[in-house]
Amino acid sequence: MRGRGGPRDRKSELRTAALKRRRSIGKAELAELSSRVEANLVALDEYRRARLLISYCAKDDEVQTRPIIERALAEGKRVAVVSTDVRTLRLGFSEIASFEDDLAPGAFGILEPRRDRLRPVSIAEADLVLVPLVAWDERGHRLGYGAGYFDRALAGTDVLKVGLALESQRLPDVPESRHDVPLDVIVTDRRVVRPPRG
């Protein structure tokens, strides 16, 4: 399992290729694709019903979430944003009132809730969590950056896990490890995928 050619090596090859593909998308195109993802997301019943949602803040080449976060706040939803603790490999979640005022660059230069304004929420309180990904498949398996942050945070939770994805990040088959937590819904720039469960 752990040796050469095992799922870890396979994942790491797929990750490298997927990241390279994603980096080739221009800024304007990514913004356009992200706004299609947003349109598909906000049409979901689960989104409309959600009162508290958790979102990541996007790195440069991830599906952009600023418009989603600002829209959800404007619609009167509560929004909590992810912070990354690189020492413990844990994610934290803190509610924000304003994208502009309540965030500052944290680990990896990604925006996260300002430390002087923390309003921690637990994942169990959220109705929906928006999960970033490097690659995905139609069974709901995802590749992250390889540190397992979201697998750790989502393990054992029954919050609705929604991957925000580009169609071009889809793979036929993402290798699955035992600790991997599958997505319930994948929202892409073209459609909504609901992997069969069971």
Ligand X SMILES: Nc1ncnc2c1ncn2[C@@H]1O[C@H](COP(=O)(O)OP(=O)(O)O)[C@@H](O)[C@H]1O
Residues at the site binding ligand X, with contacts judged by CB under 6 A? 11, 143-148, 151-152, 155, 177, 179-180
CB of 51 to ligand X, least distance (A): 27
Task: Determine how β-strand 185-187 pairs with β-strand 192-193.
Answer: antiparallel
| Cβ contact 175:14 at 8 Å | yes
Q: Contacting Mg ion (CB under 5 A), which of 62, 95, 102, 180?
A: 180
Write down the number of H helices and E strands in the chain. Answer: 6, 11
> Does 176 engage in binding with Mg ion (CB under 5 A)?
no
| Cβ contact 30:165 at 8 Å | no
CB of 179 to Mg ion, least distance (A): 7
Question: x/- contact string, 138-157, with Mg ion (CB under 5 A)?
Answer: -------------x------
Q: What secondary structure does DSSP assign to 43-112, as a single string? A: TSHHHHH-SEEEEPPPPTTSPP-HHHHHHHHHTT-EEEEEEEETTTTEEEEEEES-HHHHEEE-GGG-EE
Nearer to ligand X, 180 or 189 (CB): 180
Q: How far is CA 111 from CA 66, 82, 122, 161, in A?
A: 10, 9, 19, 21
Count of positions on this chain that bind Mg ion (CB under 5 A) = 2
CB of 8 to ligand X, least distance (A): 6
Residues counted in the chain: 198
Q: What distance in Å separates the CA atoms of residue 103 and residue 96, rounded to the nearest whole number?
A: 8
CB of 127 to Mg ion, least distance (A): 23
| Cβ contact 53:126 at 8 Å | yes
CB of 36 to ligand X, least distance (A): 25
Nearer to ligand X, 9 or 29 (CB): 9
Nearer to ligand X, 126 or 133 (CB): 133
Nearer to ligand X, 67 or 144 (CB): 144
* Residue 99 contact among ligand X, Mg ion, none, beta carbon within 5 to 8 Å by kind: none
**Mutual angle of helices 27-42 and 66-74, in 10-degree steps:** 40
Binding segment for Mg ion (CB under 5 A), chosen from 24-32, 34-42, 108-116, 172-180, is 172-180
Site residues (vs Mg ion, CB under 5 A)? 151, 180
